[in-house]
A = this chain, B = another copy of it.
Amino acid sequence: MNSSISGPIAHIHLPRSGASAALPVATMADLLQMCGVPFAQQGAAENVQVNLRTLHAGASLVHQGALADALFFVRSGTFKVFRTDEDGYEQVLAFAIRGELLGFDALCMESHPIAILALDESTVFVVPRREIEGLCKTVPPFAFALQQAGSLTLTRSRELVDILAAVASDVRLARFLIQLSKRLADCGQSPLRFHLRMGRREIASLLGVAHETVSRCFGALSAMGLLYVDDREVEILDMGGLKAFSRSTRRPVDDSALLRNRSLIPRRTRGSLRPLAA
């Protein structure tokens, strides 16, 4: 939340709206490629420009309740999707990384039901809502990509329900980390070692637990030897074990090996933080 701000403060280019700056324009072909559309019919896409928008860490992409006049495809960086209800509690609904579609849930209404914030230096493709129909006609693969991305977003949301429905909070955390790891792998990043862009409080909100519990669960998982954790630096040491652990649902049936692992370890084997592997 700092590094990009604490750097040299001089000459900010402020590439917000579609100025004809150097960076903030790309082609539809770039977008389609990111969405995994092969080379099919990208001929037309080469000639269609799509605006980009750059956001610094902490910048807001959409405010809750704002007019929904565009869709966004994340090109780089990390976003937090959340809702603040009237009593001020902030409910995180998703974290989005490269390839994900933002604002799709607002298509069926006029204004965004949620807020979106950059957690990182980030860029998004901007597709104005009024252009969607035309683009679907002139660049058919875009219609396909939109469907795919919408479908993927729904799938992600369903996965989150699976995460939240887990009873034990350490199982929730394990499932969250596995899901995150998979997504990072899809982006070509290391699935085993990564830097969390979000704070404990935000993870806690997503998982529906207290933030202290997130801390403790990180400790518990690393005590089991499944993880190495140092603040926001995470390394998965035993993906197999983590997955096995994450499968615990309600009342782990009986004295399966899994259950035994959970209860035999006396809540903290040795120092909860182990030195970084290798």
Interface residues of A (CB under 8 A from B): 83, 85-87, 89, 91, 93, 104-109, 113-114, 132-133, 136, 140, 143-144, 146-155, 157-158, 160-162, 164-167, 205, 208, 210, 247, 249-250, 253
Chain B: which residue is nearest A258 at the CB level? Answer: B87
In the assembled complex, the Cα of A93 lies from the Cα of B154 at a distance in Å of 11
In the assembled complex, the Cα of A249 lies from the Cα of B87 at a distance in Å of 8
Grouping DSSP codes into helix (H, G, I), strand (E, B) and loop, the A interface class, with mixed when no group exceeds half, is helix
| Closest CB pairs A-B (n = 5) | A107-B151, A108-B151, A89-B249, A157-B157, A165-B208
B93 touches A158 (CB 8 A): yes
In the assembled complex, the Cα of A83 lies from the Cα of B155 at a distance in Å of 12
- Supply 9 A–B pairs (Cβ within 8 Å), ascending by A: A91-B161, A91-B249, A93-B161, A105-B155, A107-B148, A113-B155, A136-B136, A157-B158, A161-B164
Q: Name the one of B109, B143, B149, B208 contacting A164, with C-beta atoms under 8 angstroms.
A: B208
| Chain B residues positioned under 8 Å from A148 (CB to CB) | 107-108
| Chain B residues positioned under 8 Å from A253 (CB to CB) | 87
In the assembled complex, the Cα of A149 lies from the Cα of B144 at a distance in Å of 16
